[in-house]
Structure 1
């Protein structure tokens, strides 16, 4: 049964991956056709074609390797300086440029002269290239907010999950009390597991964030109104100053950062509950911010990845995960001993995270990624507007093909990084159990 569920999880992830890729390419396809650009091919996957069918002027198909997809647009690059589409050169770098330019016109047909990608205004090209990643962002937001508002997310409440017996600086990262540690204010006041705090210093509180902020801001005598066994009681703890985890402007804990603040000494109970739309949007914002930080931090993860793949290093929980690793995690999720709705929610969150990663990764201003073409169109628009302001001749379209040598280098780096993640996912995978 375990093997069957694992295979089912991997198969579902593969299906979700195909849908995400097809959804991405649909964004490019629909906007390209909207602006009159001819699109000969719409393909999901790479490698040998498994199935294809032509509808109108576009061939739609599925290829064997579900690791990406593409649409082929006519005239991605402008002709060379001499106005020719093809040229000959003994320089390998120049050859890359000419090969890319030639490929952009290899399916040119009579009448296509007015349907070339590079002839469209820069803002239209930006929309076409942005539409693909944007579709992934839409899917990520829909999945994430849908899970938050239906299945729910873990959130802390004002119910007491446990009371600390003594005062320990959180920077010490220990749990056991030592001789000489003072009694915690919560324990001294008689706070017990299962109590629900309803008011602090006479002011009602119904969420953990508000209660936590008020505790941190108080040093000295305080009053707690609690519900215990269906009855309301009042406790009178005396809060003390202690080193506690620092919070950022959004109320999130900052890793390995501590500040002196008021301290009571109890743990809040966590529950899984549906969030409001506002709370869901806030959580989505946190997810995007974490995603941006993860993309920026990718180069710094390479040494740990290498050690995990080829050495005896530990695979960290925040280590980059590839398609194989994500599929493996999906298989693990299917085997979790939790309610079915939690499994469904976890799987949907994996797909949401994957789509957000696709959006952020493709927005990097580097060829051959979508962000590289966006950057080229924006640079062209800037050059033309500057020339117009200073009444200079129109510099014409920016020749993105000249950046193809850089694109090959970037692609090579990405391929090497992908292979490194693949090896790490196979020999030392990230596990959730």
Structure 2
């Protein structure tokens, strides 16, 4: 593994921006400093003042394997991820079969080995009948346990009160939740189907997957967590209404104490709103739904004020044909890993977040929240998972999309930064134009 020296970089790390060089050796960051001299045989990369960030840790993706490889798989989606500066991902359990046992969990790790271009971790799922598997889960084998407290596929909607209490009481890892109240959604959907049949207008989606359904379910999750002292992370907050339920402040305070209840939003809630359904239709249909412009603005402010702790993607690709079905058959989810980081950096250009805040939400916080070992920071001795940012505008073209579904909701969007290079475990994985070398992703380790 050849050593690499990155010189003249603008490092963004742990609340600071500073000029420095960074040396990679044996896959790790060996040194950070000024005036580092090149060694014989070392590859030298001149950053020319460009920003060097820790790679994004995306704690919420659906790479569809096993069972739905016709629309995505670990190889294709991790390729799109590293092209977008995402160097680690945590994949959801609602696959086929669902990840409801230690054996199925381990099978997903085996599938990723040698194929994933980014580092990987896989969640254990919860159902109404796998409490024993959750109770006995080795906490070193999964970043967390995913509980669907809203609609899900297969056997993964957990709606039994006793089971929910048991999961929150006995989970050996953080619990992550999808919070929407299914009975409320079903009742509203029935009213819209009575009026429109199957072809409900896409703009009705945020009324069907309503803010009231989100708030009710989120309240329940927080009540359970407080009752049982659970470490709880609520995914994809989509409404301004939910923000008052969470405590503002840093994820880890000055005394090293970590929040026990945390919140996350996703990049699509920050770049789209209800007005975009007229243009994009089911391409931006997702659960929870993209809602009002006022919700978008409140979510951005909540990131800046540390009410929301993590920014992720909920990358969930579907085929173009599936997305153009009538409403009741058009699946929810959209592909996002390739353009999430550059979309987040637009918020810096717009004056809404700083570079340091983007890095905190995309890299540091997921590492801290899930106890990720030696990733997510620019620190000597840590794995060299890096993204180099070039402030050169580009416009997203369909021909550039690397996800297997081969489309993006950002087509035609001009971003003002691009990913000039991505390193995974010290190896160049993306050179700004193309994928480089063989897959270098490793199984993530958790320091618990």
Identify the TM-score tier after normalising by the shorter chain: under 0.3
Q: TM-score, normalised by structure 2?
A: 0.23
Q: Which is helix-richer, 1 or 2?
A: 1
Q: Whose Rg is larger?
A: 1
